[in-house]
Structure 1
Amino acid sequence: MAPRNGRKLTAAVIGTGFSGICAAIKLEKELGINPQLFEISEDVGGTWHANTYPGAECDIPSHLYSLSFELNDTWTKHYSAQAEIYAYLRRVAKKYNLYEKTKFETEIVHAEWKEQQQQWLLQWRNTKNHQETGSGYYDILFAGLGPLRVPNIPSEFAKFQGPIVHTTQWDSTLDYSNKRIAVIGSGATAVQAIPELRKVASHVYSFQRTPAWISPRDQFTYPSLLKFVFRWLPFLMRLYRIFLYLQHEMYYVSFGYHNSFLARRIQAGMTKIVAWRLKRAGRPDLIPVLTPDYPLGCKRIAKSELYLEALAKPNVTVIKSGVSDIKERTLMDKDGNAHEVDILVLATGFDVQGFTGNLDIYGRNRMLLDQKWRKDFPKTYKTVTVHGYPNFFMLLGPSAALGHNSVVTQIEIQVDYAIKCLKHMVRNNLAALEPKESAQELFSKNLQKDFNGTVWKGGCRSWYMNDAGEIYGLWKGPIMSFYWALRSPNFNDFIEYKKMPRVHL
């Protein structure tokens, strides 16, 4: 689909995780645009290339955590490990020739909308040689940065005089065997890593100010016969995927409104399961320590059949108070106890609030996006476009993540929405589109209003919430409501830019 003046549109895609790969494929298939991809690391995969900590797995079923147009009949387990998801993304990238279109080990350091050119100017540099730089103009910019990208490393831990490892920057060359290891954090990463670290460490100290709700996983291995059936009868694999999707949509009904009768009953059942698992492991004393005092779902529910049992082992100590001070290799907890360790593992999550990390994105009038979003609630229009940033499409940014289902489905809905916007632009021979401020304000206002009464405003602090107590990291409802909101762009809500004579300075 070429513009009427005959010149093909150009597009840049930042990132080669699920978001970037999906955007690049759809741009070529739907619009005939051959995009230029930029990847800061040496390979595709995004989160699933970067996170190699022990026990790294997905907490969404494999057949659901994949692209709908690239189903995979060879998944080995119900919940896949990092290596298998990474391999899947590499296969998809190779199939669609994305490696040839990607500048690897390339960091975008500056992106700016140029009014006169009606294009985005991108400036980049090689991550290993900062003297090796480049720049280029593009009509369209997709940001597939991912929210779980920039590690959150609290400054107070810099005092530790030993190896410090953040889970997203795992040091596999370090010898963890027979070491005393302190793990800071109790989120999904810690839930996966601690059972594996415990197997090799002499002792693990789990520092967790707030325990997580832990749901048992229905993990199992797919038999060869079922994989054979999926290969030769792919419609059955698609039906199975639909079943998984509907199952996870029901989770929103189960805990989304925590004061409902159903949510209270489910939380009571989860409380009993936690107690039963710890009693079975011989540690009933941990029940009050590891039973959360906030509503089920207020923070992301972690899935594990190993974590509570690992915390009950003799070589694991749960410390429910945070770290108050660090002296050389000794961590002082807030109860006054000293714990000397050899390695400090930070499972402290990511700097999500800025979303753009160290990438400077300037829109019209040189508005810096990161500064704008850190100062106020990160407003978008339909989670994809932003007022003041023409032809800019943010994938899995503010208000687009989920606490109950697959974000890959969210990504595909966002990309399809962006493609519809671009098709409208091409049909009408426009230079650019951006949402009106009034439309963005109304969308953001309604978004926040719809969180009232939900579990995410149930009284806990989570990465979904900013310092002002606003939910900025999640979509307000189930995926079906997300699809409905983005199914058809209302172009009355957009500013349309006519083409001008283009001059490159």
Structure 2
Amino acid sequence: MQQTTTPGSAPDSFTDQDLRDALADANLPTLLAALAHVTGEDRWIESPFVPTLPPDLGDHDSGGFAEDVQDRIRAEAFDVLRRLRDGEVEPAPQPDPDRLVRILSATLGEVLPEGYGHLLGEELGIYDRSSVPVSTVGEQSPLRVAIIGAGLSGLCLAIRLEQARIPYVVIEKNDDVGGTWHENFYPGCGVDTPSNLYSLSFALNPDWTRYFAGRDELAEYWRSLADRWDVRRNIVFSTEVVSAAYDEEQASWKIVTRAADGLEDELDADILVSAVGLLNRPSVPVIRGLDTFEGPCLHTARWDREIDITGKRVAVIGTGASAMQFVPAAAGVASEVRVFQRSPQWAMPHPNYRRDIPDGVAFLNRHVPNYQGWYRLRLFWRMGDKLHGLLQIDPEYPHPDRAINRGNDRLRKILTSHIESELEGRPDLLAKSLPSYPPYGKRLLIDNGWFRTIRRDDVDLVTENIETVTPRGVRTTDGTEYEADIIVLATGFDAVQVLGSVDIRGRDGTSLREVWGDDDGRAYLGITVPGFPNFFCLYGPNTNTGHGGTVVAGTEIQVQYVTSVLAEMIDEGLASIEVRQDTFDRYDDELGEALSRTIWTHPGMTTYYRNSRGRVVTNSPWQYIEYWRRAHQPNMDDFEVESALSPAARMDGRSA
């Protein structure tokens, strides 16, 4: 079992007072897990040091312990960490998978299902996910990889290839890395996943300043990864992939690119990887008269830094995740904000959403072995697979119009109470703001002060349908015209048109667009497609984790899968690899059956998760653990393979 290191993997130099001050800010369940890990002792996860179950989404910093027990934990932790710092004791060996499950179960106050241990070790960063040991590949890898996109998934794969010394090039349409977090910078932009989940398992960031990071901090994190692993030298910026065609004779991809100045170029690669993702193309609604508006009209994903909303009348179309962030940020800056809502959204309060990370916690992240990792594991379970059952349809549940199972109905009541509390005394707004569909039918949002914001005198929530945009504003179907200086389209992304901007052709010149149509992407494990050898997707069809958690975990599992396939190709001298049609069909049937049991098939709402025929295209029905089991190690019997051409033959073909 390979192991790697993470931030906080060994104590650094600090004073006794530094440590005492930091321990005052510690999340005690996390601290106990870190102590059980570093000492190898069970006493940290046994009575009287067993926390209670967290009462809400908050961190449960006290663990539910009485004051005297809290003081005892901090005092004994101080003694252990001081001795560890001074070299009086050595860290225990890394725990095995069963012990990881025991530690997390004890410090969560609940028992995790069996089988999670190895996945937890990878998420903790102590079991290596790289899959392609440098010693195996050596200096002369026969494969060359082309990656489309330098966002989250493209960077993750590039780093792994850099570590393995496999030649690669990344083609990126923007002038810097970061993808979504380079392109999006509207007011209020940030992540609605906890910062510690929204980072790579092998590159935790001990310097987050907020529990939910803002856009600038996120963009800097991804830029720092590119610099840390020196992958920029292999990135071609400000360049788009126009087309890619598979050459069967040479078992390689012929890729056409276009630079910002319009010049086209060609390159060859043995392996083509799409790291474009699902949230790449802004969804611009078809609204009559939109092009007649005389003022600025812009999508949140295409914000103009020159736009100043101060003192302006701003019309916002849409009430999804970006609107949930933009509207509270714009209120009080603009003279008025008018929101045009098609349907209300369920939004959950989170105690940490606007909270800064205390200095003491930042200290513990840097200096206490695996403290940050265990905090992250707690989030990974509590905001991930623990919630999966809430999305599974119980066909016997007697109230399918409002909920899909008992747990889902309990959540509905909790969210309803929150909205009622926020809008107390405003029955007009409450009537507009309570969704009629079950929670999780659409993406469940984090309440960024949305309900308090729409109570403001300078904010108006309009629920009449839009009839047309006029030169001076927006007119609704009741005949009311609302004047505006700026129109903001907070209408999300066209997630179902996967790879819609690139012409990809596999065997016999077959176009991926012909296979998928406009909005029906399908791939084995969301990663690979029959008829398209040596082609892989990251964050492809049906890989979005709709039950919670973070896209990062799924991305790392996919990167691990792809790099494992590459290792097999190198070790076995394979020229091409292509998923078998029967393997794909079997998986597609299993996928469809699993999706049919999920909330996203509920008829009570529209959602970007579904295509024009009602099929769920974006979301995965699997728990993390189930997807990990399927993708952790590729089964080579799932593929058709071809042996490699001799080096001389390949060179002759390429120079012809």
TM-score (norm 1): 0.95
* Per-residue Cα deviation, 1:306-354 (whole angstroms, up to 9, x for no partner): 1111111111111112211122123111232211111110011112222
Give the distance between the partners of 2:283 and 2:363, measured in 1 at CA.
43
SS at match of 1:324: strand
| Cα separation, partners in 2 of 1:6 and 1:86, compared to 1, 3 Å | closer
Amino acid at match of 2:438: P
Aligned with residue 179 of structure 1, among 312, 315, 330: 312
Amino acid at match of 1:295: P
Aligned with residue 262 of structure 2, among 117, 130, 153: 130
Matches within 5 A, 1:184-203: 184-203=317-336
Matches within 5 A, 1:206-245: 206-219=339-352, 220-245=355-380
Instruction: Determine the structure 2 residue equivalent to 1:308.
Output: 451
Alpha-carbon offset, residue 376 of structure 1: 6.6
Give the distance between the partners of 2:140 and 2:574, measured in 1 at CA.
13
**Residue pair 2:150, 2:178 contacting (<8 A) in 1 also:** yes
Alpha-carbon offset, residue 6 of structure 1: 6.1
* Per-residue Cα deviation, 1:85-109 (whole angstroms, up to 9, x for no partner): 1101111110100111111111111
**Residue pair 1:353, 1:374 contacting (<8 A) in 2 also:** no
Larger RCO of the pair (alpha carbons < 8 Å, separation 6+): 1
Instruction: Determine the structure 1 residue equivalent to 2:214.
Output: 81
Amino acid at match of 1:431: A
| Cα separation, partners in 2 of 1:274 and 1:104, compared to 1, 3 Å | same
Between the two proteins, the alignment pairs up a number of residues equal to 500
Alpha-carbon offset, residue 448 of structure 1: 1.3
**Residue pair 2:141, 2:570 contacting (<8 A) in 1 also:** no
SS at match of 1:402: coil
Matches within 5 A, 1:26-425: 26-29=160-163, 31-127=164-260, 129-131=261-263, 133-156=264-287, 157-219=290-352, 220-249=355-384, 250-257=386-393, 258-279=403-424, 282-375=425-518, 377-403=520-546, 404-425=548-569
Alpha-carbon offset, residue 218 of structure 1: 2.0
Give the distance between the partners of 2:389 and 2:357, measured in 1 at CA.
28
**Residue pair 1:355, 1:370 contacting (<8 A) in 2 also:** no
| Cα separation, partners in 2 of 1:229 and 1:7, compared to 1, 3 Å | closer
Give the distance between the partners of 1:318 and 1:65, measured in 2 at CA.
32
Amino acid at match of 2:491: T
Instruction: Determine the structure 1 residue equivalent to 2:617.
Output: 472
**Residue pair 1:379, 1:441 contacting (<8 A) in 2 also:** no
Alpha-carbon offset, residue 215 of structure 1: 0.7
**Residue pair 1:456, 1:471 contacting (<8 A) in 2 also:** yes
| Cα separation, partners in 2 of 1:148 and 1:375, compared to 1, 3 Å | closer
Give the distance between the partners of 2:345 and 2:477, measured in 1 at CA.
20
| Cα separation, partners in 2 of 1:175 and 1:418, compared to 1, 3 Å | same
Aligned with residue 481 of structure 1, among 592, 615, 626: 626
- Aligned identity (percent) is 33
Instruction: Determine the structure 2 residue equivalent to 1:461.
Output: 606
Give the distance between the partners of 1:114 and 1:496, measured in 2 at CA.
15
Give the distance between the partners of 2:173 and 2:140, measured in 1 at CA.
33
| Cα separation, partners in 2 of 1:46 and 1:284, compared to 1, 3 Å | same
TM-score (norm 2): 0.74
> For structure 2, which runs of at least 5 residues remain unmatched after alignment?
1-133, 394-402
* Per-residue Cα deviation, 1:83-136 (whole angstroms, up to 9, x for no partner): 101101111110100111111111111111111111111111211x113x3211
* Per-residue Cα deviation, 1:385-444 (whole angstroms, up to 9, x for no partner): 111111111000110112211000000000001111111112211101111112112211
**Residue pair 1:11, 1:138 contacting (<8 A) in 2 also:** yes
| Cα separation, partners in 2 of 1:36 and 1:440, compared to 1, 3 Å | same
SS at match of 1:461: coil
SS at match of 1:462: coil
**Residue pair 2:197, 2:550 contacting (<8 A) in 1 also:** yes
Give the distance between the partners of 1:117 and 1:42, measured in 2 at CA.
32
**Deviates further, 245-254 or 399-408:** 245-254
**Residue pair 1:165, 1:344 contacting (<8 A) in 2 also:** yes
**Residue pair 1:63, 1:72 contacting (<8 A) in 2 also:** yes
Instruction: Determine the structure 1 residue equivalent to 2:592.
Output: 448
**Residue pair 1:181, 1:204 contacting (<8 A) in 2 also:** yes
Give the distance between the partners of 1:152 and 1:267, measured in 2 at CA.
29
Alpha-carbon offset, residue 477 of structure 1: 2.5
SS at match of 1:192: helix
Amino acid at match of 1:260: N
SS at match of 1:230: helix
**Residue pair 1:187, 1:347 contacting (<8 A) in 2 also:** yes
SS at match of 1:59: coil
Amino acid at match of 2:326: A
Amino acid at match of 1:223: P
**Deviates further, 258-267 or 243-252:** 258-267
* Per-residue Cα deviation, 1:262-319 (whole angstroms, up to 9, x for no partner): 111111111111111111xx52321111011111001001102411111111111111
* Per-residue Cα deviation, 1:47-71 (whole angstroms, up to 9, x for no partner): 0010001111111111111000001
> For structure 1, which runs of at least 5 residues remain unmatched after alignment?
none
Instruction: Determine the structure 2 residue equivalent to 1:497.
Output: 642
Pairwise CA RMSD of aligned residues? 1.7
**Residue pair 1:256, 1:297 contacting (<8 A) in 2 also:** no
Give the distance between the partners of 1:209 and 1:195, measured in 2 at CA.
18
SS at match of 2:158: helix
Amino acid at match of 2:277: G
SS at match of 1:244: helix
Give the distance between the partners of 2:306 and 2:341, measured in 1 at CA.
26
Amino acid at match of 1:153: V
Give the distance between the partners of 1:228 and 1:38, measured in 2 at CA.
38
SS at match of 1:422: helix
Amino acid at match of 2:205: N
Aligned with residue 24 of structure 1, among 136, 158, 167: 158
**Residue pair 1:62, 1:78 contacting (<8 A) in 2 also:** yes
